[in-house]
Amino acid sequence: MYIKRAYAEVDEFLSLLDIDTQNEIPIELREFFLKNKDESYKKGIDINIPIKEQNLMKETLAIIAFLNLKYWCKDPNEKMKLKKIYEQNEKKHTINNEKSATSEVEKIAENIEKKENIKNTCKKKTDKKQTKELVKVENSLIKRLLSMIRRMFGKKK
């Protein structure tokens, strides 16, 4: 039940972000939080109070940290620093529930990436196939045109 509350807090947190920042999170992941949250739990996050003072669940903070690392942080150097910090924190505060919350979100993010990779691979294969077919059509068209020109000038193969 507590993990559903964490998902409710994450969903509420995401809803407070501007639309561009929200859209950096895959829709499937946002829908996951929406569908799996505790509907009766309302945290009441106040945007005027720093996140550290919001008394959010540890699972919520772990998920937000994961989202930050995976989707919002664009600077590779900053990502490396964050990874080190997160690894140190994980060693200090090894809590099974925290791990399970982030690992479930990580699995969903990985599945989304796999789907995207499959789509891209299929698109590339389709594009290559279409290019080959276009080349075949162009080659046969050129052959027919050359044949017509030869006939017009009376030359035979």
DSSP string, 17-71: S-HHHHHTS-HHHHHHHHHHS-TT------TTS-GGGS---HHHHHHHHHHIIII
Q: Is residue 134 part of a domain?
A: no
Q: Which of 14, 18, 29 is nearest to 60 (CA)?
A: 14
Q: Is residue 131 part of a domain?
A: no
Q: Is residue 84 part of a domain?
A: yes
Q: 114 lies in which domain range?
A: 2-119
For residue 42, is it left (φ>0), alpha (ψ between -120 and 50) or beta? beta
Q: Is residue 141 part of a domain?
A: no
What tokens were used for 146?
A: 């050359």
Q: Is residue 132 part of a domain?
A: no
pLDDT of residue 93: 59
Q: Is residue 150 part of a domain?
A: no
pLDDT of residue 122: 61
pLDDT of residue 97: 46
Instruction: Return the higher-pLDDT residue of 53 and 120.
Output: 53
What tokens were used for 114?
A: 């796999």
Q: Is residue 127 part of a domain?
A: no
- Please, what is the average pLDDT of the chain? 76
In the chain, the number of structural domains is 1
The mean per-residue pLDDT over the stretch 75-103 comes to 69
Q: Is residue 130 part of a domain?
A: no
pLDDT of residue 121: 67
Give yes or no for residue 98 having a pLDDT over 70.
no
SS3 84: helix
The mean per-residue pLDDT over the stretch 16-26 comes to 90
Q: pTM of this prediction?
A: 0.60
The mean per-residue pLDDT over the stretch 62-78 comes to 85
Instruction: Return the higher-pLDDT residue of 8 and 109.
Output: 8
* Alpha-carbon gap, residue 91 to 122, rounded angstroms: 40
The mean per-residue pLDDT over the stretch 107-119 comes to 66
